[in-house]
Amino acid sequence: MTFRSKATLEAWLDEFRSAREAGDLIRVIIQDGSDGSDTGLVIVPVKNSSVSIFMQPISIGGEGWSVTLEPNDENTVLDSHQLHALASELAVAAELCSYLEARSVGHQEEPHEEQPESV
């Protein structure tokens, strides 16, 4: 079964950042798939909004990615500068999603080798 592990997504995110000099606050966390696999979850923090953004593969082994904007109970009130900053953050998120979809085409994750437990 193919998936994108946390390590793979972190490597892709590093490549994305170095090519665009953007997305410094974006991070990857472990997300357990239905079969216990590490499928990875990309978190995109938004500075001037109460909205949380995360992206993940639509299906294990698929090429498509979904972006979820999770609302908060609070309203977001912005001035023009903050709105421009939010638009820039959303543009980076959209670009990252496109990048992850492109990297997912034909991707085959290497089998994870079991690491010995430290004592």
Residue 57: both structure tokens together: 């593969």
Q: Is 57 helix (H, G, I), strand (E, B) or coil?
A: strand
Average pLDDT over residues 82-109: 89
d(CA 51, CA 72): 6
- Span 9-37, pLDDT tens digits: 999 999 999 998 778 889 998 776 665 55
Q: CB–CB of 101/42 below 8 Å?
A: no
Residue 104: both structure tokens together: 């997912």
Least confident range of 3-7, 43-47, 70-74, 87-91:
3-7
Mean pLDDT of the chain: 81
Whether residue 6 is predicted with pLDDT greater than 80 in this model: the reply is yes
Neighbours of 23 (CB within 10 A): 20
Domain boundaries, the chain: 6-104
Q: CB–CB of 22/92 below 8 Å?
A: yes
Average pLDDT over residues 58-62: 72
Exposure string over 44-56, b if 16+ CB within 10 A, otherwise e: bebebbebebbbb
